[in-house]
Amino acid sequence: MMNTLQGKRILLGISGGIAAYKSADLTRRLREHGASVRVVMTRSACEFITPLTMQALSGQPVHVELLDYKTEGAMGHIDLARWADVILVAPASANFMARLAHGQADDLLSTLCLASSVSITLAPAMNQQMWQNPATQANVTLLRDRGVTLLGPATGGQACGETGPGRMLEPLELVDALARGFISDRLSGLKLVITAGPTREAIDPVRYISNRSSGRMGYAVARAAAEAGGNVVLVSGPTQLHQPERIRCQPVTTAAEMHDAVMREIEDAEIFIAAAAVADYRCSQAAIQKIKKDNDELTLLLEKNPDILAAVAARKLPPFTVGFAAETENLLNYAQQKLFNKKLDMIAANQVGMNQGFDTEDNELQVIWSGGSIKLERAPKDRLARQLIRLIADRYHEKNTTQTH
Ligand code: C5P
């Protein structure tokens, strides 16, 4: 299980508390397990342990100030937020948790937490009265509801001489728990083709038909697949998203281009995940010049785009095929039908509406396959993506063992 941390990028936040001394050992342990660690400290953390110590142990510059021309030059705060696979704040003080719960961004660490789309894990450490205080407990509830993971605190003797809940978990316990949060290397040696984002279908040289897909879910799935050791090709329609690292990206614009790129890549792929919101129709004949608004009415003749997912599933030797179903009504019925009609191995269904599903950070999914189904509760898209990839890996291996026996 321990090799799940191999190559993982952990942004270790340290806030002010006596348990900060344990973060030094934590950094060593994480690196021993193959993780890269970059340390961000709050100013009060520097009263308990020096940035120099953390720099020596992490082997990387330590970041403290939000606007520091030296560290911003090396790796700016937005780059740091993008770099991380997970943010672990250990110790997380009562004050830090309060700031995080209320969305403050008044120092580097809180800003990073706000600016990053990856999972946030906290290892609280504080005096037992502070932990049990209703204000802290209310913050804990708020944070958990938003998908933040809390590890600990443990109960026992405290530095202040009291006994009770508030001790930070030991470094090895944190390493273990963090490793469990990541998926294993169960996709090692497998090629995955993943589509993401919307497509654009030209009406004329300046206008197009498209939809509200942001691409976030597909990108999160691609990242999770790469984290699990997969060799990922991401065929992406136009999005505002940063190209994920460790992933081969094939940018496309139209459904036809997406279809061709997928067909080129699918030959030697074991898994296909269609997370793109492909435009169902395109203009039969896009105008060569900009259409003028001379008439009161304008009729566009549309023709159907190829169904990429169905085409992949209909191949002679199809890969393990996963579709998405975004529906505004009858979610489960439509999803079941799609699973059956398109001959898919699995489908991930999500309810969409004006303020739901598209262009949001959170999502919830109902995942269905021939032998079962599971609801993945509302969570940040990257955590959902990891859960989905875990399901896909399990089902893929199960299918392959039954087929080869
Ligand atoms: O039939 P519907 O469009 O709702 O199916 C959604 C699923 O099919 C998604 O996984 C989507 O990526 C895929 N799809 C596709 N090509 C299309 C339309 C949908 O791959 N032309």
For 288-326, the DSSP string reads SSPPPTTSS-----EEEPP-HHHHHHTSSS--EEEEEEE
Whole-prediction pTM value?
0.70
Which of 309, 344, 347, 366 should be mutated for ligand 1, with most atoms under 8 A from CB?
309
Ligand 1 atom closest to the Cα of residue 325 is: 6
For the Cβ of 194 lying below 6 angstroms from any atom of ligand 1, the answer is: no
Residue type, 257: E
For the Cβ of 255 lying below 6 angstroms from any atom of ligand 1, the answer is: yes
Say if residue 321's pLDDT is above 50: yes
pLDDT band of residue 300 (cuts 50, 70, 90) is very high
Distance, CA of 247 to CA of 273 (rounded, Å): 15
The pair phi, psi for residue 180, each rounded to 5°, is: -65, -30
379: enclosing H helix or E strand: strand 372-380
Helix spans in 59-93 (H): 69-74, 77-83
For the Cβ of 324 lying below 6 angstroms from any atom of ligand 1, the answer is: yes
Residue 300 Cα to ligand 1 midpoint, Å, equals 22
Of 46, 113, 160, 249, catalytic: 160
Distance, CA of 271 to CA of 253 (rounded, Å): 23
CB 235 within 8 A of CB 194: yes
For the Cβ of 199 lying below 6 angstroms from any atom of ligand 1, the answer is: no
Residues in the chain: 405
| Residue 160 annotated as catalytic | yes
Q: Which residues pair with 40 in a beta bridge?
A: 13, 63
Question: Which domains does the chain possess?
Answer: 9-180 (3.40.50.1950), 191-403 (3.40.50.10300)
For the Cβ of 307 lying below 6 angstroms from any atom of ligand 1, the answer is: yes
Which of 199, 213, 260, 308 should be mutated for ligand 1, with most atoms under 8 A from CB?
308
Say if residue 138's pLDDT is above 60: yes
Average pLDDT on 272-287 reads 97
As given in the structure block, the two tokens for residue 58 are 């992490």
Say if residue 26's pLDDT is above 90: yes
Say if residue 185's pLDDT is above 80: no
Residue 186 Cα to ligand 1 midpoint, Å, equals 26
Quote the mean pLDDT of the chain. Answer: 91
pLDDT of residue 22: 97
Among the ranges given (50-59, 195-204, 237-246), the one the predictor scored with the smallest mean pLDDT: 237-246
Ligand 1 atom closest to the Cα of residue 334 is: 4
Average pLDDT on 352-362 reads 66
At 229 the three-state DSSP class reads coil
Higher pLDDT, 405 or 367: 367
At 275 the three-state DSSP class reads coil
As given in the structure block, the two tokens for residue 353 are 């509406």
Say if residue 2's pLDDT is above 50: no
**Pick from 32, 77, 83: which is nearest to 59 by CA?**
32
pLDDT of residue 1: 45
pLDDT of residue 121: 96
Average pLDDT on 97-119 reads 92
pLDDT of residue 85: 85
Residues sharing a CB contact under 8 Å with residue 294, sequence separation 6 or more, in sequence order? none
For the Cβ of 237 lying below 6 angstroms from any atom of ligand 1, the answer is: no
Distance, CA of 294 to CA of 51 (rounded, Å): 67
pLDDT tens for residues 61-79? 999 988 776 666 667 788 8
Distance, CA of 212 to CA of 357 (rounded, Å): 10
